[in-house]
Structure 1
Amino acid sequence: APTSVHWHGALLPSGMDGVGGLNQKVIRPGETFKYEWTLHQHGTLMYHSHHDEMTQMAMGLVGMFVVHPRNPRAIPKVDRDFALLLHEWLIRPGTERPDPNAMEGFNVLTINAKAFPGTSPLVVKRGDRVRIRLGNLSAMDHHPFHIHGHYFKIAETDGGRIPEAAQWPETTVLVQVGSTKVIEFIADNPGDWACHCHMTHHVMNQMGHGIPNLVGMDTAGFDPRVQKLLPDYMTMGHRGMDDHGEHVEMGHMAVPKNSIPMVGSYGPHDYITMGGMFTILKVRERLESYDKDPGWYENPPGTQTTQATPEELRRDGISA
């Protein structure tokens, strides 16, 4: 199919801007076009098809690119620098590819084209200065990106670097469609910390949109009848989405071809009922390598929540 490439956020000559038909001839199959311009800015930029956008961006013709300043002292030095592209897809269970005509009902939400538990953890050492570049090229949805266990400062937007005196602390930053945000913080709190979009349906995969749930009801015998028509379907029973994930993980429920469980996988303590636009910030005192997953964090004695004993409940005047 014909295409073109738009350099989203870049200041460049009109003839290099990449809008098919407006700034250039479209690039037809078998052709190679070149884009050349002098970079007069630094920051976090994106690129995407600008010909038949609805189809081509929905199929994944998107990306990020980072322009570093010529003077390295122009921005603070960091120890870890991550780029996370947020995207959404409608992939109907059992199908081979995304539906490019979708305007709603997006059911796979990704970070760098991966949905949890397939996302890569963000591995850092305690005391590291961390920069996370967030870009959103989703079709329709904004993403409030939230990090547990740390405050961060919003350091850059599409318009460039925010003066340090004007930066403000947050735990959640809204990344609108077509925009970038850059956050920075000191990783001073060891542990495994969730990083995710705070739209609750964006941390689930391939939701059964439009199908009623039966949370809190006895659904015995209901699922087998529905699954004759919808092989991937499972009601939200007494424990909500928790049931679905564990049944898939234990092999009690088949997942259709080219599909993934609605929610994540087992963690160190129990099942993690998160999927989609979710990853883990892993802060460690010591690391063999930034490129190696250090595994699950072991909480020091006295810092792990545990079940309250009957004696503790009575002491606090709580009826068991």
Structure 2
Amino acid sequence: MKKLLFGTVLAGVVAIGAACSNDSMQGHDMSNMKNKTSEVSKQLPSETNMEVLTGKEIHLTAKEALLQINDKVKLPVYTYNGSVPGAQIRVKQGDTVKIHLKNELPEPVTIHWHGYPVPNSQDGVPGVTMNAIKPGETFTYEFTATVPGTYWYHSHQESAKQIDKGLYGTFIVEPRNEEKVDRDYTLVLDEWVSNPDESNMDMSGMDHSQMGHGSMNSMSHDMSMYDIFTINGKSGSAIEPLKVKKGEKVRLRLVNAGYMSHKLHLHGHDFKIVATDGQPLKDPQPIKDELLNIAPGERYDIEFTANNPGEWLLECHGDMKGTDDMKVKLQYEGEKGSTDKANATENLPVVDMTSYGKQELGEFTLDQKYDVEYTMDLGTAMGKDGMVFTINGKTYPETAPVNVKTGDLVKVKLVNHSPTDLHPMHLHGHFFQVLSKNGKPITGSPLIKDTLNLKPGEEYVVAFKADNPGNWMFHCHDLHHASAGMVTEVTYKDYKSDYKPDPNDTTNKPE
């Protein structure tokens, strides 16, 4: 279960960014972790206080550690380079990068480059694009960073469990002609379980390595077990303030690594949403006192000018138990001003991304001719072992793939028929343009994304060009839902993979 918080475990990890949800854990004895885990207490350089790795050759190690979430809670976690979130990788557009991942965990892992159009062989999906990296092994990912923006990386091996335990980090590709800002902060949202023994399901004795489809479904509806919300791996007063000086231009890169949506409110300042899922928006207009809703897997870059001295908050709105502790202070250096007050229940409108920014023609339109059209009905059903989540009535691997060939123009209609569940649908290896919502065309900036959140009853039409040959997952990023069946693939008929999965290898668990 995600990030099970064991208050009795001691040690600390300087971390920066966890966020909103989930379950993770066990299958091996954590009782000796204090001996196995090095304490990480160094102050890490960068505006975000997380370790930042730059250059064309990067080294990551997947290993166990202990995460101090607040003054009461420490828990055993899985990490990339000893912190949650893991080291931020920052590269330049155009660089060919090599990332060496060494696995020092007691189980297999991978890295999936969430939102990034890497070659299929580098996508990190075990049993689909590669074998999971076994304990003690090292694997090198290599690709060219062609598209600038804010992305993240995470394990795709038993991902509902491993991301929940902390196996994620951020991946920033700086554009060749970057518009400079004075401060650049990355904030990763996540959720954790402080007392799994008291949650409504008993995960304590479960060996997740034996869990298959539907395994996570006992918890898929009751997200109340996630009672601690974090920003950069910290909660409440443990979250480090964001320092600014009057007149500075500030960028916040907001990443949701959890399994719940979070509505964020920036107090005291106008801001612009300059990018979503790493892709820039056309002429974004200033917003004030509106909530930015960030679904699992999504990223939003916002920018504002520090023109209102004092101490302000960026806070999560809602009524979940962990909501009040998902807030970070914005502090002006050397300036007196008003001191802000939290108000997580204030009734504010949510920004409508379908009408935000300047309308102009994107690459695709609703009425042009498409080579492939696919309808994806997202549903919920009772399976023999509990709740399952379906695409067109089937669970993975029985779901019908989206069959394409290189160069095809593809239109997908997504409809959420689940009565109560949100489904943030994520497409690997491609960006898609959102064309309509509930039958109405998009009226704002062209909206280019890789993760799209559907509330119950909602319908979206999206389009993309099949320009990255391979076999690519298209799945719900509430990974409980993916592990319980809500996965399909985009398969290229003209692609031949060099990777041949061994049918007898049971270690690959792509969901």
Normalising by structure 2, we get a TM-score of: 0.40
Residue 88 (structure 1) shift? 0.7
Q: Residue 331 of structure 2 corresponds to which residue in structure 1?
A: 282
SS in 2 for 1:37: strand
Q: Residue 81 of structure 2 corresponds to which residue in structure 1?
A: none
CA RMSD, aligned part only?
Answer: 2.5
Residue 201 (structure 1) shift? 2.3
Which range is displaced more, 63-72 or 101-110? 101-110
Does the 8 Å CA contact 2:251/2:303 hold for their aligned counterparts? yes
Mapped to 2, the partners of 1:173 and 1:117 lie a distance apart of 22
Mapped to 1, the partners of 2:145 and 2:317 lie a distance apart of 35
Residue 71 (structure 1) shift? 2.2
Q: Residue 17 of structure 2 corresponds to which residue in structure 1?
A: none
Mapped to 2, the partners of 1:115 and 1:193 lie a distance apart of 17
Structure showing greater Rg: 1
Over 3 Å counting, the alpha-carbon distance change for 1:63 and 1:176 in structure 2 is same
Task: Give the 5 Å matches for 1:63-102.
Answer: 63-72=169-178, 76-92=179-195, 102=219
Moved beyond 4 Å, runs of 4+:
98-102, 297-300
Which whole-Å deviations, capped at 9, do the CAs of 1:152-186 have from their partners, x for residues lacking one?
A: 000001151112x2445244211111100000010
Bigger strand share:
2
Identical residues among aligned pairs (%):
39
Over 3 Å counting, the alpha-carbon distance change for 1:70 and 1:20 in structure 2 is same
Over 3 Å counting, the alpha-carbon distance change for 1:197 and 1:166 in structure 2 is same
Residue 89 (structure 1) shift? 1.2
Mapped to 1, the partners of 2:141 and 2:196 lie a distance apart of 38
Mapped to 1, the partners of 2:266 and 2:292 lie a distance apart of 9
Q: Residue 112 of structure 1 corresponds to which residue in structure 2?
A: 232
Does the 8 Å CA contact 2:312/2:329 hold for their aligned counterparts? yes
Flag structure 1 segments of 5+ consecutive residues without an equivalent: 205-273, 287-296, 305-320
Which whole-Å deviations, capped at 9, do the CAs of 1:50-92 have from their partners, x for residues lacking one?
A: 01011101101111121101223xxx32100000000111120
SS in 1 for 2:163: helix
Aligned: 1:5 with 2:124: no
Residue 17 (structure 1) shift? 0.6
Letter in 1 for 2:135: P
Letter in 2 for 1:169: I
Which whole-Å deviations, capped at 9, do the CAs of 1:223-259 have from their partners, x for residues lacking one?
A: xxxxxxxxxxxxxxxxxxxxxxxxxxxxxxxxxxxxx
Residue 194 (structure 1) shift? 1.3
Does the 8 Å CA contact 1:12/1:37 hold for their aligned counterparts? yes
Mapped to 1, the partners of 2:281 and 2:264 lie a distance apart of 19
Flag structure 2 segments of 5+ consecutive residues without an equivalent: 1-106, 209-215, 342-511
Task: Give the 5 Å matches for 1:15-164.
Answer: 15-72=121-178, 76-92=179-195, 102-103=219-220, 104-105=223-224, 106-139=226-259, 141-158=260-277, 160-163=279-282
Does the 8 Å CA contact 2:262/2:293 hold for their aligned counterparts? yes
Does the 8 Å CA contact 2:311/2:338 hold for their aligned counterparts? no
Mapped to 2, the partners of 1:12 and 1:170 lie a distance apart of 36
Task: Give the 5 Å matches for 1:259-274.
Answer: 274=324
Does the 8 Å CA contact 2:263/2:292 hold for their aligned counterparts? yes
Mapped to 1, the partners of 2:177 and 2:168 lie a distance apart of 29
Q: Residue 189 of structure 1 corresponds to which residue in structure 2?
A: 308
SS in 2 for 1:145: strand
SS in 1 for 2:142: coil
Letter in 1 for 2:182: D
Does the 8 Å CA contact 1:190/1:285 hold for their aligned counterparts? no
Q: Residue 200 of structure 1 corresponds to which residue in structure 2?
A: 319
Over 3 Å counting, the alpha-carbon distance change for 1:179 and 1:202 in structure 2 is farther
Letter in 2 for 1:5: I
Mapped to 1, the partners of 2:338 and 2:277 lie a distance apart of 38
Does the 8 Å CA contact 1:88/1:109 hold for their aligned counterparts? yes
SS in 1 for 2:161: helix
Bigger helix share:
1
Aligned: 1:169 with 2:287: yes
Partner residue of 2:297 out of 162, 170, 178: 178
Does the 8 Å CA contact 2:278/2:300 hold for their aligned counterparts? no
Does the 8 Å CA contact 1:9/1:158 hold for their aligned counterparts? yes
Does the 8 Å CA contact 1:155/1:167 hold for their aligned counterparts? no
SS in 2 for 1:54: helix
Corresponding residue pairs, total: 215
